[in-house]
Amino acid sequence: MGAVYFYQLSTQPLEAALPVLLAKAREAGWRVELRGVDAARMEVLDRALWSGPEDGFLPHGLAGGAHDADQPILLTCGGGAANAPACVMAVDGADIDPGEVGALERVCILFDGHDAAALGRARSQWASLVDAGCAAQYWSQDSGRWEKKAERVPDAANKIT
């Protein structure tokens, strides 16, 4: 059963933090769905990933292409990614269903800690996912590096089945 990791971005924007987290997921051997809510925003992230350093290239594609199933990282605007991901990274408040968490190795929710609406959405997601029995961790980069600030492990009576 997977877990949900919440990443509060405080010292760098999503475009800077995302390549590092995607690289870690790929190092674990996971295919990734990068899930957003707006197609134009996903195109911006696609361009940002393509313009990264050559030594840190992350092979990826936007959903809707002929080779979606082959993409190690697939940028989408909804669930059911064709690349059979082991990890879903949700940005911009994209929905995560508690049932997905149990079927994946990891779910990552990335949000801007300086945006009140994004912070509120992340708190709501934390509450609903933990209440549904998902294991969750909250990570912050307030000190400039990632630090675990909270963790919730479901008890045996409250596990997702």
Looking up residue 119, the CATH number of its domain turns out to be 3.40.50.10110
Residue 46 C-alpha from the chain's centroid: 15
The reported pLDDT for the residue numbered 53 is 73
Closest by alpha carbon to 107, among 119, 95, 121, 124? 95
Closest by alpha carbon to 11, among 116, 121, 120, 143? 143
Q: How many residues does the chain have?
A: 161
Range of the domain at 67: 3-158
Give bridge partners of residue 107 from the DSSP assignment.
4, 88
142: helix, strand or coil: coil
Q: How far apart are CA 82 and CA 104, in angstroms?
A: 14
Number of domains in the chain: 1
- What are the CB-based long-range contacts (under 8 Å, 24+) for 153-161? 154/130, 158/133, 159/1, 159/133, 160/1, 160/98, 160/99, 160/101, 160/102, 160/132, 160/133, 160/134
H/E element, 121: helix 116-131
Per-position pLDDT tens, the chain of length 161:
689 999 999 999 999 999 999 999 999 999 999 999 999 999 999 999 988 777 778 999 999 989 999 999 999 998 789 999 999 999 999 999 999 999 999 999 999 999 999 999 999 999 999 999 999 999 998 888 899 999 999 875 444 44
119: helix, strand or coil: helix
The reported pLDDT for the residue numbered 57 is 85
